[in-house]
Structure 1
Amino acid sequence: MAAPLELRNSASGKILPSVGPFLIGGVFAFGALQGLASGADGGHVMWIALLAAACLGLGVFIARGAFDTSVKVTLDSQGFRDSRAGDVLVPWSKVKSVRLAAGGKGAAMLNFELTEEPPDAIRYSSANAFGLIGRNTVHMEISSLDVRGEDLVDAVKTFAPHVVVRR
């Protein structure tokens, strides 16, 4: 019996996406300071400063995940569990197939086709927003985890050899 596979957040998968909001927030903050220095209307400067604060706040919100070391996804001989999407165990007996959805440079999502509708805790979770599209599909975002998509598919093959891997 294989040991359970526990996946955590990837530091680079969380910090790198936060760079954009930080840069945009910095540009807005610089614009607000320039507006203050040139004596622009206070109302317009306030809106620019609020946009800067919102962008910087979004950057902090995204980057904080890099420091979260808790287990996000667990795969074992019983099934899989995603703490970001309801934290409900989905037994392998209910999984028909798995597909690695590629986007950009690599895999961003693992799609599990189930034999029945997923539990409501998974189906209506914010992490499975795409779950309302495919009624019997659980979408697991993996681009922010510390594993490659192919390694995750190999783990599924190990734990549940009956599951069909679709490309």
Structure 2
Amino acid sequence: MAAPLEIRNSASGKILPAIGPFLIGGIFGFGALQGVAAGANGGHVLWIALLALGFLALGFFIVRGAFDTSVKVTLDQRGFRDARAGDVLVPWNKVRSVRLAAGGKGAAMLNFELTEEPPDAIKYAAANAFGLMPFGKTTVHMEISSLDVRGQDMVDAVKTFAPHVVVRR
């Protein structure tokens, strides 16, 4: 039997996306300081300062995941489990197909088509918001761009653990 594949967060997959909010927060912060120095209306300066704090907080929220070393996704002979989406085991016998949303290293999503609706803990997770729509009710979306593994490696692991699962392109 193959060893379980335990996947953690990627530091670069968490730090690089945080650059944008930090940059925007810095720009708004500089604008707020300029407004205070120029004697602008206090209400407008307050709104700009709150926007700066909001963007900086978003940046810190995103980057904190880079220091989280716990296992996020597990693939083994029993099925797959995503700690970010309910941490519920989905057995391979309930998986019909898997599809890599975009090929190569830039893949952002791994989509699992199930034979039935996923458990509620997975269905109502943020990554599966489309499952609440009238279409795609049996599809589980797994975000992989922030993990420390390539999408093709995950597809290869699915082929190893569940050869009956169809790989769609």
Q: What range describes the TM-score normalised by the shorter chain of this pair?
A: over 0.9
Of the three residues 141, 165, 168, the one matched with 1:166 is 168
What fraction of aligned residue pairs are identical, expressed as a percent?
A: 83
Structure 2 runs not aligned, ≥5 long:
none
For residues 48-59 of structure 1, the aligned pairs below 5 Å read 48-59=48-59
Secondary structure in 1 matching 2:101: strand
Cα 1:76–1:166 change in 2 (3 A) is: same
Mapped partners of 2:51, 2:64: distance in 1: 20
Aligned-pair CA distance for 1:104: 10
Aligned-pair CA distance for 1:103: 7.8
Aligned to 2:102: 102
What's the RMSD between the two structures over aligned residues?
1.3
Mapped partners of 2:60, 2:104: distance in 1: 24
| 1:126 matched to 2:122 | no
Aligned to 1:66: 66
Structure 1 runs not aligned, ≥5 long:
none
Number of residue pairs aligned between Structure 1 and Structure 2:
167
Mapped partners of 2:167, 2:156: distance in 1: 9
| 1:31 matched to 2:31 | yes
| 1:157 matched to 2:167 | no
Aligned to 2:144: 142
Aligned to 1:17: 17
Alignment TM-score, normalising by the size of structure 1:
0.97
Q: Which amino acid aligns with 1:37?
A: A
Aligned-pair CA distance for 1:128: 2.0
Aligned-pair CA distance for 1:41: 1.1
Mapped partners of 2:29, 2:41: distance in 1: 16
Aligned to 1:89: 89
Mapped partners of 1:105, 1:75: distance in 2: 19
Q: Deviations over 1:86-124 (max 9, x none)?
A: 110000001010000018972100000011111111111
Aligned-pair CA distance for 1:60: 0.4
Alignment TM-score, normalising by the size of structure 2:
0.95
Aligned to 1:4: 4
Aligned to 2:78: 78
